[in-house]
Structure 1
Amino acid sequence: MQFVQRIASLISLTLFLLCCSDKTDEAAQFFLRGNVQLQKREYKPAIRYYTEALKKKPDFADAFSNRGLARFRDGDRAGALTDYTKAIETDPNFEAAYYNRADALLDSGNPTAALADLQQIETLYRDSTFYQTRLGDAYVLLNNVSQAQAAYDRAIQLDPRNAEALTNRGALFFNQKQYEPAKADLNAALQLDPNQPEALNNQSLLLAREGRYAEALKAVDRALSLQIGQPYYLNNKAYLLLMLNRPDEALPLLRESLRRNDTNAWAHRNLGLYYLTKGQPAEALSQLQRAEQLDASVDQLYFYLGQAYLATGNRPKACEAWARGSTAEDEQAKKEAQRNCK
């Protein structure tokens, strides 16, 4: 299962609505109408109004930035990045556009460029809890655990009610196998915001780790009710259904998750697990090998890979897989190696 952090536009952006000055009255009116629609989460009308404002005033940096935000929230990541860049080109000192572009870059899987944008505005924003949260997100994607935790710690120090920072620090703790602080952060986040889908999804993983699969399923179902079709949540629900011996219900979820994101190693692992439960080891082996190509650090990957090799009659390869799992401190792989590879 996958702990969700700053992945696939999962966390809301801070909304920057900046007033216009010295603009034509007509452009300003379109801009303000766009702001109203943006606040109402009516993104397509907002985009239309900002576009009209830009027709009247092509160097309207605020309109570029807010249209970028509307496009980002409407699922147009490329359009958002283009607009944020236009805003910055129009006004190189437009700090809000750097912040918003960093967020879109994180969503695009480009933490190096995102960090550069965040560092550009550090002097102004270093005491912002939202800025420190984004900084932590960038460091997570850059695998800089110590810097990520320092940023999340600072974000929470600045605002102990920052549920997003608590959720993301909890994810960081979980990935470091620090389960008790992960649980504490997630519980605190859900007390502040009971309908935060990321925290609900992550709570389901903690419950699953304790073997509480039915409770975990309820939590991830709540997350999916808030973010319908989110591929990581679909994958996690499928895993829980597999653990509850309901593989036929899991399969369509896995297929949909991979349709939405076919580079998700965890979903390939879980599809491999599905095929193992169905007695189709060749198909399982194909999926597990794909998962290994994408991300060899996926939990229990080598345990399942060894099982697939053994089921196809290739004991040496099975023992090799379990040995790799043992090196990665996979207890189940270690037990299989001791049982089958003496």
Structure 2
Amino acid sequence: MIDRQDNRKFSKMRAGLALAALLVLAGCQTGAGVYDGVPVDPAAGSSENIDSLSAVIEANPRDASAYTTRGVAYGQAGKLDEAVADFNAALTLDPTSYQTYANRALVYRRLNQTDAALADYNRALNLKPDYEIALVGRGNTYRSLGQNGPALADFNRVISQNSSNARAFYNRGLIYQAQTQHLRAIEDFATAIGLNPNASEPYVARGISYLAVNDSAAALDDLTVALNLDKNSAVAWANRGVALELQGKIPDARRNYQKAMVLDPRNDLAREGLSRIDRGGKA
């Protein structure tokens, strides 16, 4: 229960917690999942699948698509150098494959070779200007470099040609969020959720923007849904702790911060939340 004389302290703490939540999101990478190219399929990176694809290549060494497919499998398995080698082989055999350029660009991004990634996305788009995977991927590369103008242009271009692309709405929402345009961000995250309700990332992002506009109840709802979809999201656990702390549910907040720390010991939002609770701080 918040006493009247504590209202000013409460508002200041809430603003600080919301800002901390946003900083955590800003440092979080979405990765090569459903919102950044081909959806992740762990089975594709299995040794059995890679062995099978190798047999196909051995029997058909001039099959560019087989190299591309195995390159994707290597990428799913985290064998990024092998993935690049296969994409190189595929492009030697078929230099017009815009899909292969986009796949190699995604691997270059995972290798933090952003210049190479941008070059490959540009090659893909020169071959197929409306290729949405390359537009979203290039937009995210620009966003990672802090070039929000070109990133917004790519996401807007995707949305203008396909208003059902959840990835474009989600990633555009992240830019609005970084610009503290939280109402616009919430709208984009809501659209992304409507288009793909089974992805956890938009719920986490919308929950954080709800914290920023002082709606801890809506934030708690979104972060709970996100954790039902992905229980291993330290960002979601930490921000759910913020929402619970803002509502004065301190024991529950502590449990959420502790869960976040187990998943990611470097999570500053969770660490600071636990420290605040241990000091007897009151939201």
Of 72, 75, 78, which residue of structure 2 is paired with 1:72? 75
Q: Is residue 32 of structure 2 the alignment partner of residue 9 of structure 1?
A: yes
What does residue 171 of structure 2 align with? 168
In the alignment, the residues of structure 2 paired with residue 96 and residue 117 of structure 1 have an alpha-carbon distance, to the nearest angstrom, of 10
Q: Percent identity?
A: 21
Per the alignment, do residues 150 and 270 of structure 1 end up closer, same or farther by CA in structure 2, a change over 3 Å counting?
A: same
CA contact (8 A) 1:6 1:137 kept: no
What does residue 185 of structure 2 align with? 182
List runs of 5+ in structure 2 lacking aligned partners.
Answer: 1-20
In the alignment, the residues of structure 2 paired with residue 129 and residue 249 of structure 1 have an alpha-carbon distance, to the nearest angstrom, of 37
What does residue 229 of structure 1 align with? 232
Deviations along 1:13-71, one digit per CA (max 9) or x if unpaired, are: 6559xxxxxxxxxxxxxxxxxxxxx9995542432321211232344332221122233
What does residue 211 of structure 1 align with? 214
Per the alignment, do residues 39 and 210 of structure 1 end up closer, same or farther by CA in structure 2, a change over 3 Å counting?
A: closer
Root mean square deviation, CA, Å: 3.2
List runs of 5+ in structure 1 lacking aligned partners.
Answer: 17-37, 281-342
Deviations along 1:214-265, one digit per CA (max 9) or x if unpaired, are: 442332233233344244434434444554422244123223124xxx5xxx
Per the alignment, do residues 198 and 225 of structure 1 end up closer, same or farther by CA in structure 2, a change over 3 Å counting?
A: same
TM-score calculated relative to the size of structure 2? 0.75
TM-score calculated relative to the size of structure 1? 0.64
CA contact (8 A) 1:234 1:257 kept: no
Q: Is residue 254 of structure 2 the alignment partner of residue 247 of structure 1?
A: yes
Larger radius of gyration: 1
What does residue 276 of structure 2 align with? 276
Amino acid in the other structure paired with 2:263: E
In the alignment, the residues of structure 1 paired with residue 38 and residue 164 of structure 2 have an alpha-carbon distance, to the nearest angstrom, of 18
Amino acid in the other structure paired with 1:11: V
Per the alignment, do residues 192 and 275 of structure 1 end up closer, same or farther by CA in structure 2, a change over 3 Å counting?
A: same
How much does 1:74 deviate?
A: 4.5
Q: Is residue 117 of structure 2 the alignment partner of residue 114 of structure 1?
A: yes
In the alignment, the residues of structure 1 paired with residue 183 and residue 107 of structure 2 have an alpha-carbon distance, to the nearest angstrom, of 31
Amino acid in the other structure paired with 2:31: A
CA contact (8 A) 1:173 1:181 kept: yes
How much does 1:178 deviate?
A: 1.1
Amino acid in the other structure paired with 1:168: N
What does residue 126 of structure 2 align with? 123
In the alignment, the residues of structure 1 paired with residue 184 and residue 145 of structure 2 have an alpha-carbon distance, to the nearest angstrom, of 22
Per the alignment, do residues 79 and 187 of structure 1 end up closer, same or farther by CA in structure 2, a change over 3 Å counting?
A: same
Count matched residues.
Answer: 253
Deviations along 1:134-184, one digit per CA (max 9) or x if unpaired, are: 221111011111111111111100101111100110111010111121122
Amino acid in the other structure paired with 2:257: A
How much does 1:90 deviate?
A: 4.6
In the alignment, the residues of structure 2 paired with residue 11 and residue 134 of structure 1 have an alpha-carbon distance, to the nearest angstrom, of 11
In the alignment, the residues of structure 2 paired with residue 238 and residue 89 of structure 1 have an alpha-carbon distance, to the nearest angstrom, of 51
Alignment map for 1:308-327 (pairs within 5 Å): none
Deviations along 1:92-136, one digit per CA (max 9) or x if unpaired, are: 443221101112333444332211111122222222233222221
In the alignment, the residues of structure 1 paired with residue 193 and residue 96 of structure 2 have an alpha-carbon distance, to the nearest angstrom, of 37
Q: Is residue 141 of structure 2 the alignment partner of residue 138 of structure 1?
A: yes
How much does 1:194 deviate?
A: 1.6
